[in-house]
Structure 1
């Protein structure tokens, strides 16, 4: 009986140890600087396991899951309205390695997957102000990063020095962070245990670049999506007829017009 009890306790300990943590943030954005009343809101997850974390939009996970099932079954019939509703303003993934301090940013430009390592430090100044947010006692901090002034509220009650997006480096979990202009805000809404962190299917190779090179490539695409699409690989051109390509180009241009206020200004 004693051996059975010890075995059960050991199994329970393994299950608990194997569990990961998921922190769900509500992200509020004003992507169009010409329309300050236009606000978009979506959810994003910060999954933490061991000495690593991954931050991603919830809609990205849902879309990838649907596409994965279609590839497995060979059936590519899908609800276009459903897929349209799962579009995200944060089509990126950020991986952090606690041991090395590295932050890896991954995003697609057309059919290519890029990755760069964040090369700018985030130097926080911890302020004396404290406030209770939800169930957590938090303390305020401020930092200048990527052209914006950011205010964060962190709690030492959660033993992870991490937060949403690229934010980290405070002595606890970031419960809320927003920029001084009120354009972007990340607010913790839920914390829960999960069996494993999200796993995104890797299709093709990832192009490793410096941050400046990625931003240059992204800016070229934003300025002239037509030229970028015209230079796509032969496989993509075969799959799209001229009318489909024109519709895609027009839709992309319209989206860029309405998304002129990025989270990083420089």
Structure 2
């Protein structure tokens, strides 16, 4: 593993011949607009080949690994305490197909897996400002996307026109990108070679929808997560009768259900500053 401030010489040739490359970003987030002093930090991975890339949270990979170990050793039973420690604000994956230009977003709402193809393009304005970030020579660019103004620093030292989250389309790898309000930031910290793109488990059927329909479902969930889950379990989502994770439906006892509902309401109350505002 290489730190960003260390060896960059020869990275380009290494990337070209490697099976896949992992760029590790530190993601900082202010998810509660009423408490801007609270900053959440997580790592996220951008795994890239010449054909495609996938962006996802580090905790997602750790959860998948934990699920696998528990299935093998505990007969399918799960330690809820361990799972709670792996809860993440990067609970989505984004796949980019460089040949088709398709950018696919995957996420879960309540019990159900959804995906949509991003239908908005990023129009970048490359600015004259340059900066050294670690050992990378970078140039600044600006775009307006999903209700925010974003500033990115990209390097042509790395031959991938890609970046974290949905960001791509600049003539090189995005080393850093942040919004103008300072709510969200993605900073490249490490790079490493890996054998192949990670195969993340989806945990059930995926409902393919249009972006606007996904946003409507997400808005309903944020407004009243408990009622949304009850409707979802009855198959009344309005899009498709959803499938539970793992294919079976288990109803928690009243005490567990009340605890879950209270936790979801509190989370929705604090997560009022999403990365996409519109």
Which residue of 259, 267, 272 maps to 1:247?
A: 259
With over 3 angstroms needed to count, the CA separation of the structure-2 counterparts of 1:238 and 1:193, relative to structure 1, is closer
- Offset at 1:19? 2.2
Higher relative helix content: 1
1:265 aligns with 2:265: no
Q: Show the 5 A alignment for 1:78-97.
A: 78-97=78-97
For the 8 Å contact 2:226–2:264, the answer to whether it is kept is: no
1:36 aligns with 2:44: no
1:144 aligns with 2:144: yes
**Residue 238 of structure 1 aligns to a residue in which SS?**
coil
CA–CA distance in 1 between the matches of 2:72 and 2:49?
28
CA–CA distance in 1 between the matches of 2:82 and 2:52?
32
Tell me the residue number matched to 1:154: 154
Tell me the residue number matched to 1:6: none
How many residue pairs are counted as aligned between the two chains?
251
CA–CA distance in 2 between the matches of 1:80 and 1:230?
22
CA–CA distance in 2 between the matches of 1:231 and 1:33?
29
CA–CA distance in 2 between the matches of 1:76 and 1:205?
19
CA–CA distance in 2 between the matches of 1:159 and 1:17?
12
Query: Which is further off, 190-199 or 116-125?
Result: 190-199
TM (norm. structure 2) is 0.86
Deviation string for 1:73-117 (max 9, x for gaps)?
Answer: 453455444322211011000000001111000001122110000
CA–CA distance in 1 between the matches of 2:69 and 2:22?
23
Question: Cα RMSD over matched residues?
Answer: 1.6
Deviation string for 1:116-150 (max 9, x for gaps)?
Answer: 00000100000000000001000000000000000
TM (norm. structure 1) is 0.90
Tell me the residue number matched to 1:195: 195
Unaligned runs of 5+ in 2: 1-15, 235-243
Deviation string for 1:203-230 (max 9, x for gaps)?
Answer: 3221100000000001101101121121
CA–CA distance in 1 between the matches of 2:203 and 2:183?
33
CA–CA distance in 1 between the matches of 2:74 and 2:38?
39
Tell me the residue number matched to 2:5: none
1:205 aligns with 2:205: yes
Q: Which has the larger radius of gyration?
A: 1
**Residue 83 of structure 1 aligns to a residue in which SS?**
helix
